[in-house]
Amino acid sequence: MAGKLNEPRVITDHRHEPVCILPHGFQLDDARWEAIWQRFEEKGAALSHDDLRDLFPDEPALHNNPL
């Protein structure tokens, strides 16, 4: 599962409810996967872009890129 996403990815739970949307270029690995699910369980709701930025502050794909 590790690697950089080449397209946005919607993560859903077993009921097909959204957990989060990961942007193109997001570096995903097992540790990040676990962190996303842990935060989702703590929050009890879908993670926002700001939630993902808080979890992964050094992830370039989560920051605005100038056009």
Q: Which residues, 6+ apart, have CB-to-CB distance to 4 below 8 Å? A: 25, 26, 27, 28
Report the predicted TM-score, pTM, of the whole model to 2 decimal places: 0.88
pLDDT attached to residue 60: 93
Q: Which amino acid is at 45?
A: A
| CA nearest to 61, candidates 36, 28, 24, 30 | 24
Euclidean distance between CA atoms 45 and 5, whole angstroms: 23
pLDDT attached to residue 1: 58
Strands 3-4 and 18-22: unpaired
pLDDT attached to residue 66: 52
Segment 16-63, tens digit of pLDDT: 999 999 999 999 999 999 999 999 999 999 999 999 999 999 999 998
